[in-house]
Structure formats: structure tokens, C-alpha cells
Amino acid sequence: EADIYQTPRYLVIGTGKKITLECSQTMGHDKMYWYQQDPGMELHLIHYSYGVNSTEKGDLSSESTVSRIRTEHFPLTLESARPSHTSQYLCASSEPGTGANYGYTFGSGTRLTVV
């Protein structure tokens, strides 16, 4: 059973629409992350957060925003969807601390298609 949930699983939307991808985790993790991954390609870090009201931009953060009002919830918003946003979006979380706690738990992803 997944401890980190992403909705929707698949989304097809028209150009120019505003969309929010949801991510929730039940593990009480302080750290959460959003990645973009095209099929068969590498992970690109979009945004991350190390706690409530804390957000940071990753390598690929343009055109999207995040918020962290609650520990368990880390939504990603695209203000105006474009075909170039077509990709898979992966959410992850991790505990603070050392060692194995550095490991991320990933969600199953949202596959976004902008037409």
C-alpha cells in the first residue's frame, strides 16, 4: 500500500489551462520533492520543501509553483499549461536525519498530456 499518493494518475488538458497536481503523504515526512521525468529519461528536480511554509526551486522550476501549508500536502500548480509541459510528474518525500533516512519514497506519478 502506497504511503505517498498522487492524483490524478493521468490528465489530458488543453493549452492555457491552470492545473494543480496533488501529492499527499501519510508518513509525517518533513521533506518533499517534485520531479519531472520524460519517458526513459532522467529525473529533473522542479521544487522541494523541507517543512511547512518552506519551498525551494530546483533545476527546472520555471512556469510552476508549489505550496506547503500542511506537512502532508505538497501540490504543484501550472498556471498556464503548454504542450512542452507534457511529461510524468513524480512526487517524493523523505525524513530528516541521517543514513537510510535520506532515501526517498516516490509516488506513482501523474502522467500529464497537454494538447
Partner 1 sequence: QKEVEQDPGPLSVPEGAIVSLNCTYSNSAFQYFMWYRQYSRKGPELLMYTYSSGNKEDGRFTAQVDKSSKYISLFIRDSQPSDTATYLCAAVFISGNTPLVFGKGTRLSVIA
Residues that bind partner 1 (CB under 8 A): 33, 40-43, 45, 48, 50, 58, 90, 92, 96-109, 111
Q: Whole-number minimum distance, CB 35 to partner 1, in Å?
A: 9
Is the Cβ of residue 14 or residue 62 nearer to partner 1 in the bound state?
Answer: 62
> CA-CA distance, 33 to 23, in Å (whole number)?
10
d(CA 60, CA 18): 18
Shortest spacing between CB 106 and partner 1, in angstroms: 3
Cα-Cα end-to-end distance for the chain: 33
